[in-house]
Chains A and B, each alone.
Chain A
Amino acid sequence: MGELKYELSQNAYIKLVLHARKHKTAAVNGVLLGRVSPQNDAVVEIADSVPLFHSHLGLLPNLEISLIMIEEHYSAQGLGIVGYFHANERFDDLELDSIAKNIGNHICRYFPQCAVLLLDNKKLEALPKGKDRSPVMQLYIRDASKNWKLVGSDGGCQLLTKEPAANVVLMDYISSEKWQDVVDFDDHLDDISKDWLNPDLFK
């Protein structure tokens, strides 16, 4: 795979964490939109994210519809699905489950450098106490034998936020309860007037 750098834009990052925070008692997931950097093909720019579901993550129909529409929308901007985000139901559960791996595998068929991000609740909780600038997520990459491996700090690949102060902004939004405004695809399917693009979230 080589030493890939995954650059997560602040908005994409915050949207996903806020979504997880909104549905504290459930597992949630989302997709990452982006592209290989035109200037440096060792960098994957994750420009945006779309929060997907907060219930029945393991069922296909809604996932298929959401991916069709999301891909269609973002391809017009030259972006594709480059990764997947997952947050487990339980606080200290840092295991990547089969659903996440399956969806990751599916995305790999179209984008082999697919990144799977798993929310790290302990890191998130510790944010206000420290000055940690790294994203509160674990990065998983598929190795040559098609197994999903956690990328450690000594690994070749890296996950970082494009904007260094992203965590500060995140904490701000959490304390102002901004997570209430996040709309995911589940919400859209329940009420199509709700927009999964969340256009006004960061205004």
Chain B
Amino acid sequence: MVTKTEETQLNRLENQVDNGGGGAWEYLCLVKKLKVRRPDKVLRHGLSILNDPKKRSALGPDVWTLYEQVSIAAMDCQCLDVAKDCIKVLQKQFPESKRVGRLEGILLEAKGLWAEAEKAYSSLLEDNPLDPVLHKRRVAIAKAQGNFPTAIEWLNKYLETFMADHDAWRELAEIYVSLQMYKQAAFCYEELILSQPTVPLYHLAYADVLYTLGGVDNILLAKKYYASTIDLTGGKNTKALFGICLCSSAIAQLTKGRNKEDKESPELQSLAAAALEKDYKQRAPAKLLLLTSALKSLKTS
């Protein structure tokens, strides 16, 4: 998960390296730090360093992590020969290493040899029962085969032990959403908000799930979380602003004819609408008319 500033910084660096301006090592380190998935770039720029003996030796002991990073990127791009070569280098340098053993397992996955990969991980897990990466690779195998019930089961089991692994909670939430299991997805986002209450993305995702679940209570709650997202992002999150408008419209529809016990203050909706219009006027003027009529249709529906 990256912030906008991080993404801009990464893209700028990427452009620089792509166009021969140097900075490959900085780029690769940033990609690793931000945990983003850019396998073709990592492969290209990583190999440019690894294939140059001078550049290699300049890295010192960091060269081994680069081999690891490049081997994974190679597998992601289905360049299995490159991956195999990198792993061989690492095997020579670190014989009997469990970390290299993991890479061998991932290579089996990349080849689609699920049973063999599963066996490799199980045997590694015997000596390292608490290695989170191994557990997650097993979930990945289930997911790659489209075996969602197993993936969910193992991911839940993993989270019983490693309940602070936010990426795993997010992964589980996304699997649930893709299967339209919204209640379960909501639970995951609740966990994330509990442990990291100032991350706006979780508030936003939770609100989206609540809205999708539907019903007045859920939508009222969704509105609160869109509001907290707006709070946490200084009013700059377009999706949250739209969320407020959608919620207000949905609540109005659902409570039509009811006595308005919940004094739904229309101010929040008008504020959100005004913020959207201001933003579109400035940054997307060609779409302003569309926005205004969309907001109007939400108000009157």
Contact = CB atoms under 8 A, between A and B. Distances in A.
Interface of A: 25, 27, 55-62, 64-65, 68-69, 72-73, 89-90, 93, 97-99, 102, 189-190, 192-193, 195
Contact of A69 (B207, B209, B212, B291): B291
Contact of B178 (A62, A72, A99): A99
Across chains A and B, which 4 residue pairs bring their CB atoms closest together, nearest first? A60-B212, A192-B284, A59-B208, A193-B283
Interface stretch (B24-32, B49-57, B102-110, B292-300): B292-300
B212 A25 contact: no
B246 A193 contact: no
Nearest to A63: B212
B292 to A, nearest CB: 10
Interface in B199-243: 205, 207-209, 211-212, 238-239, 242-243
21 contacts: A56-B208, A57-B177, A58-B180, A58-B182, A58-B212, A59-B177, A59-B208, A60-B212, A61-B207, A61-B211, A62-B242, A65-B242, A69-B294, A72-B290, A72-B294, A97-B178, A98-B179, A99-B178, A102-B180, A190-B238, A192-B284
Q: Main SS of the interface on chain B? A: helix
Contacts of B283: 192-193
Interface in B252-301: 279-280, 283-284, 286-287, 290-291, 293-294, 297-298
A162 B133 CA distance: 49
B242 A189 contact: yes
Contact of A90 (B146, B212, B284): B146
B37 interface: yes
Given A69-B291, A192-B284, A62 B212 contact: no
B211 A60 contact: yes
A62 B174 CA distance: 16
B113 interface: no
Contacts of A57: 177-178
A99 B180 contact: yes
Given A72-B294, A98-B180, 9 more contacts: A58-B182, A59-B211, A61-B208, A62-B239, A90-B146, A99-B180, A192-B284, A193-B283, A195-B284
Nearest to A186: B239
B144 interface: yes
Given A56-B208, A59-B209, A65 B286 contact: no
Contacts of B179: 58, 98
A61 B207 CA distance: 9
> Which of A64, A89, A102 has the most B CB atoms < 10 Å from its CB?
A64
B114 to A, nearest CB: 13
A33 to B, nearest CB: 14
Contacts of A72: 290, 293-294, 297
B174 A189 contact: no
Contacts of B180: 58, 98-99, 102
A72 B290 CA distance: 7
Contacts of B144: 90
Given A27-B178, A68-B298, A99-B178, A189 B238 contact: yes
Contacts of B178: 27, 57-58, 89, 97, 99
Contacts of B211: 59-61
Interface in B153-196: 174, 177-180, 182
